[in-house]
């Protein structure tokens, strides 16, 4: 009898241990999804300082919300087929949110899904890019922050630094809707100032050197918009313009690092933070893309590359220098 009782007790203990083990496993399994980080997609068109800063701003803003998030970071290296593949993978993974940096990236993501929320940045005009129905009320699964720079103020800055300028040149990627839109504004502003414009386009970074050389002796200054090809090849451009004493006014701050003279600049880190905050609102269920107006940078600061000014023999007017940030690259 004692042996039988011992056996029964042992069997009961074993059963309880087994049940306890099952309970722990099931509890752990149930808790894992809740504790796991939410994975979201982040695609960047190409590497250059402006877009890299936007990327950093997005990540910082989302993390500062305290959200448990992991980013699937992808860079398309300016290749449309890469963008397509990234978009299909993001959609197949059923990510709850996609961040897209630059217009081509946003357009490709939007073409791949009309349901997954997409927050874009480094897009100049969301309506022109056909990403939204209206900037005030997108009405689609896309929203974000615009990098529209104050072109009129850029022209005024240019004329303060090069007051005798008569002919202005511009170089941009002919296939970038963003750049086309900015150059349209540039034309209107130059007409108001009775200035001439020489407008040249490129289709790749390989075209920049020859195109820049063709402007030598024909222009007094160059304005470049927030264009991804030009941003990627600013040192190539300024290697030609610097010896010819032609100043380059840039649409964003990153261009100064490549030899640009000055800008009333778009701060891409702040634009990224704006987009990151919008994405965090979506993840927290506070809003939906279709109801979130496109947001813009509201304050701009004049930045002047003092090293370039000295090389070009340009004296920065005292009144301008007082209110500008002088940098050296």
Q: At what angle do helices 103-112 and 80-92 cross, to 10 degrees?
A: 40
- Please state the rounded mean pLDDT for residues 319-325: 93
Tally Cβ neighbours within 10 Å of residue 138: 22
Q: Are 45 and 102 in contact (CB under 8 A)?
A: yes
Task: Give the span between the Cα atoms of 30 and 195, in whole angstroms.
Answer: 69
- Please state the rounded mean pLDDT for residues 196-201: 98
Residue 14 has pLDDT above 60, yes or no: no
Q: Dump pLDDT digits (tens) for 152-165.
A: 999 999 999 999 99
Location of structure tokens 């990403």:
131
- Please state the rounded mean pLDDT for residues 169-173: 97
Q: List all residues 6 or more positions away from 10 whose beta carbon is below 8 Å from its beta carbon.
A: none
Task: Give the span between the Cα atoms of 21 and 227, in whole angstroms.
Answer: 60
- Nearest CA to 58 out of 232, 227, 280 is that of 280
- Per DSSP, the residues of 167-195 read EEEEEEETT-HHHHHHHHHHHHHHHHTT-
Residue 103 has pLDDT above 80, yes or no: yes
Task: Give the span between the Cα atoms of 62 and 42, in whole angstroms.
Answer: 12
Pick the more confident residue, 156 or 31: 156
| Mean of all residue pLDDT scores within the chain | 90
Tally Cβ neighbours within 10 Å of residue 167: 14
Strands 248-250 and 118-123: unpaired
DSSP one-letter code for 250? E
The pLDDT value recorded for residue 33 is 55
Confidence of residue 298 (pLDDT cuts 50, 70, 90): confident
Half-sphere exposure of 81 (CA within 13 A, CB side): 0
Strands 262-265 and 295-296: unpaired
Strands 142-146 and 295-296: parallel
The pLDDT value recorded for residue 9 is 41
Confidence of residue 280 (pLDDT cuts 50, 70, 90): very high
Confidence of residue 21 (pLDDT cuts 50, 70, 90): very low
Residue 17 has pLDDT above 70, yes or no: no
The pLDDT value recorded for residue 34 is 57
Task: Give the span between the Cα atoms of 206 and 73, in whole angstroms.
Answer: 27
Task: Give the span between the Cα atoms of 286 and 279, in whole angstroms.
Answer: 10
Task: Give the span between the Cα atoms of 182 and 173, in whole angstroms.
Answer: 11
Confidence of residue 36 (pLDDT cuts 50, 70, 90): confident
Q: Are 174 and 200 in contact (CB under 8 A)?
A: no
For the chain, give the number of residues: 329
Task: Give the span between the Cα atoms of 78 and 229, in whole angstroms.
Answer: 9
Q: At what angle do helices 177-192 and 151-161 cross, to 10 degrees?
A: 50
Q: Dump pLDDT digits (tens) for 208-248.
A: 999 999 999 999 999 999 999 999 999 999 999 999 999 99
Q: Could you tell me if residue 221 is left (phi over 0), alpha (psi between -120 and 50 degrees) or otherwise beta?
A: beta
Bridge partners of 265?
301
């Amino acid at each position: 009898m004692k042996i039988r009782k011992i056996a029964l007790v042992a069997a009961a203990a074993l059963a309880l241990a087994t049940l306890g083990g099952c309970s722990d496993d099931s509890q752990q399994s149930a808790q894992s999804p809740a504790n796991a980080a939410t994975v979201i997609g982040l695609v960047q068109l190409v590497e250059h300082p402006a877009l890299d800063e936007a990327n950093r701003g997005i990540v910082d803003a989302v993390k500062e919300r305290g959200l448990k998030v992991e980013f699937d970071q992808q860079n398309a290296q300016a290749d449309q087929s890469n963008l397509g593949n990234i978009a299909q993978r993001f959609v197949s993974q059923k990510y709850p949110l996609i961040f897209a940096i630059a217009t081509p990236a946003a357009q490709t993501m939007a073409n791949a899904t009309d349901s997954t929320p997409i927050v874009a940045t480094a897009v100049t005009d969301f309506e022109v890019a056909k990403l939204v129905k209206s900037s005030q009320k997108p009405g689609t699964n896309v929203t974000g922050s615009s990098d529209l720079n104050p072109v009129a103020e850029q022209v005024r800055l240019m004329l303060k630094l090069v007051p005798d300028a008569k002919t202005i040149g511009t170089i941009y990627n002919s296939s970038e809707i963003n750049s086309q839109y900015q150059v349209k504004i540039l034309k209107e502003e130059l007409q108001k100032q009775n200035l001439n414009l020489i407008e040249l386009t490129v289709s790749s970074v390989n075209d920049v050197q020859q195109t820049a050389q063709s402007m030598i002796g024909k222009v007094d200054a160059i304005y470049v918009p927030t264009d991804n090809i030009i941003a990627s090849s600013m040192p190539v451009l300024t290697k030609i313009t610097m010896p010819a004493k032609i100043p380059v006014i840039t649409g964003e701050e990153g261009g100064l690092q490549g030899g640009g003279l000055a800008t009333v600049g778009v701060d891409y880190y702040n634009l990224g933070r704006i987009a990151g905050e919008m994405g965090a609102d979506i993840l927290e269920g506070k809003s939906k893309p279709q109801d979130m107006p496109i947001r813009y940078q509201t304050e701009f600061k004049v930045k002047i590359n003092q090293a370039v000014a000295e090389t070009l023999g340009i004296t920065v007017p005292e009144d301008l220098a007082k209110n500008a940030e002088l940098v050296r690259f």
